[in-house]
Amino acid sequence: MKKALATVTLSGSLPAKLEAAAAAGFQGIEIFENDLTQFNGSPADVRRMAEDLGLEIIALQPFRDMEGMPEPYRSQKMYYIQRKFDLMHELGTDRLLMCSNVSPHASSDRAQCAADLHEIAEMASREGLRAGYEALAWGRHIADYEDAWDLVKRADHPALGINLDTFHMFARGNTLDCLRNEIPVEKIALVQVADAPIMQMDVLQYSRHFRCFPGQGDLPVVEFVQCLKDKGFDDYLSHEIFNDEFRSSSPKEKAVDGVRSLIWLEEQVGKDASIPEPEITDVEFVEFAVEGESGEELVQLLQSLGFRETHKHRSKNVSLMRQGDINLVLNREPESLAREHYQLHGVSVCALALATNNLKALLERSERYKLTRFANQAGPGELNIPAVRGVGDSLVYFVERSSNFRFFDIDFVPVAGEESGLGLARIDHIGQSVANTDFLSASFFYKSLFDFTIEPSQDLPDIYGLVVSRTAESRNGRVRIPINMSEARQASPQRFIQRSRGSGFQQVAFECDDIFVAASGVDSDKVLPVPGNYYRDIEAKFALDPELIERLQSLNILYDRDEKGGEFFHFYTLETHGVFFEVAQRKGGYSRYGEANAHIRFAAQSRYYELSDDEGELS
């Protein structure tokens, strides 16, 4: 199936939208009429621009409120649509998208409505054009696609077909039965695929603000496309997305997201269960861009957590700190991508390395999804670890683990001295703070490329506003990445973004063997203090033993328990350049992240910051 995009999906001017769509790899474009009327040029100019970019203008849209209208409105609409046909000739397109009537003047008489559609189709046929009719989910009399199909059948004209829009279908709870059993493929005029999170709200507001690309929401878009494929449909799949994030984002970035979503959709439909897919098995290392005194502040915090420098790179100013199966790379190399990241964002996590069971297949997958590749500057005999651009400016490295050696056995030289620590065993999860315009893109990055599961969003209360969070998790549960965003300027994710000048990894959580041993070994002035009222609350909530409460409070350890009795103990360090660490212990199969304590962490962190007029630095 071919890929298309309605111009309303992207932000910017019409030329910018066309250029973004072509650069991303779309083959077709739907011209949204507002974009055309705002354009300071002729329809013929638009046609030439599209042709020069290799784009087919597949439709002009939308034409509204034409069926079942009384006079004089009906005559006005017929004149209006004739002028639109003239416009279509200038644009070089032969398809017109029509929407079901929402006017209070509209008649519910289906015979009259069908007669109007037949007359419009006859007018289009004389012009060598065709029309498609679509049910708006808030249509006055026609709101379900089954009813739209009934009108198309009644009109009975070869130049008239039905438009299928997944949002309008699934927002009203429609099934695929009518499409599967009644609608012939030759009567499908246009297909638009949009996803959305499941929400209970006014359908018009739902449509105008919360549509998203396939794979970014919860609608059964895969089943829909599978149904089309089974029927032999091979025309365009087009995006028509209304979304506040998209309207405030780069059109080039969103166009790329749109192409990736259609690639993902095709992949899901054509998936062969007998062919094993590459799997992400673990976090191999986390890399920090560090330099000067600010970098040493981070090193000292890590040393307080029991990390020690265990290896030095053979040819670069890069060191490795280890504890358990945790690998933290500190990159001070002047000629490196880490240096570029430092110049943009200061001391920060610049890269994440993920272990995979099939490096070759994962690289092929990254190329299929049009991800930017980066090559490591490797010396003789060193590993050339491939990477792709991740969320924000960070990199994601791919490492295929060997049973005989690890990456540091090849590229690093051990430093004299024994490895010590506080019993930190592995990376439990890595938190990422992103701008609201990156929130959907970030989760889809992990879902599409790595086949991670994306949990539904949840709201976490910061004292300055709500934080929206959702977690991406690998199939084996070993890699977990909570993704946080907030539109509140002073909330935790926004403070990080302002300070670091962009989205990035803000939190690294370590799993430990014994939370009390770990907490006792950390310098108390590095630990985030927890208010005493919190401990009174959890004592009452969980009926905890007073001795346990005392131990928790003395070490600023937070506590949570799930419905099955699983327990979660955790504490946080203070932030250093916006980055902070968490140490956690899980008992009894607890699988969450202590979300019940998020508001305590947000409030405690905010007390250490006084937002200045510009960036909000540590006071």
CATH of domain 424-606: 3.10.180.10
481 and 434 in contact (C-beta within 8 Å)? no
User: DSSP E strands: which ranges in 214-315?
Assistant: 236-239, 280-289, 308-313
Q: What percent of the chain has pLDDT over 90?
A: 84
Annotated binding site: 134, 165, 192, 240
CATH superfamily for 280-414 is 2,3-Dihydroxybiphenyl 1,2-Dioxygenase, domain 1 (3.10.180.10)
Q: Does domain 2-269 have CATH number 3.20.20.150?
A: yes
Mutual orientation of helices 145-155 and 110-126 as an angle, nearest 10°?
A: 60
Per-residue pLDDT tens over the stretch 340-381? 999 999 999 999 999 999 999 999 999 999 898 887 665 555
Q: Is pLDDT above 70 for 298?
A: yes
Q: How far is CA 550 from CA 557, 559, 562, in A?
A: 10, 12, 21
Determine the pLDDT at residue 618. 38
CA distance 512 to 562: 19
Confidence of residue 199 (pLDDT cuts 50, 70, 90): confident
pLDDT, average across residues 107-136: 97
pLDDT, average across residues 215-234: 95
Q: Where in the chain is CATH 3.10.180.10?
A: 280-414, 424-606
Determine the pLDDT at residue 418. 59
CA distance 342 to 477: 31
CA distance 347 to 290: 5
Determine the pLDDT at residue 276. 73
Computed over every residue of the chain, the mean pLDDT equals 93
CA distance 503 to 442: 10
pLDDT, average across residues 50-68: 96
Determine the pLDDT at residue 617. 43
Determine the pLDDT at residue 615. 43
Q: Is pLDDT above 50 for 93?
A: yes
User: DSSP E strands: which ranges in 390-494?
Assistant: 395-400, 412-414, 424-433, 453-454, 458-462, 465-473, 480-485
Q: Is pLDDT above 70 for 419?
A: no
pLDDT, average across residues 251-277: 88
pTM exceeds 0.85 for this model: yes
CA distance 427 to 286: 9
Name beta bridge partners: 212. Answer: 195
Q: Is pLDDT above 50 for 619?
A: no
CA distance 368 to 449: 9
Confidence of residue 417 (pLDDT cuts 50, 70, 90): low
Annotated binding site for a divalent metal cation: 134, 165, 192, 240
Tell me the Ramachandran region of residue 580: left when phi exceeds 0, alpha when psi lies from -120 to 50, beta otherwise. beta
Query: For 35-72, b where at least 16 C-beta lie within 10 A, e where not — what string?
Result: bbeebeeebeebbebbeebebbbbbbbbbbbbbbbeee
Is 361 strand, coil or helix? helix
H or E segment to which residue 331 belongs: strand 326-331
Name beta bridge partners: 98. Answer: 63, 133
In one-letter notation, the amino acid at residue 509 is: A
pLDDT, average across residues 294-313: 93
Q: Where in the chain is CATH 3.20.20.150?
A: 2-269
Determine the pLDDT at residue 614. 41
Tokens of 139: 């249509």
Tokens of 70: 């009384």
Residue 504: half-sphere exposure toward Cβ, Cα within 13 Å:
30
Torsion sign (Cα): 590, 591, 595, 598: positive
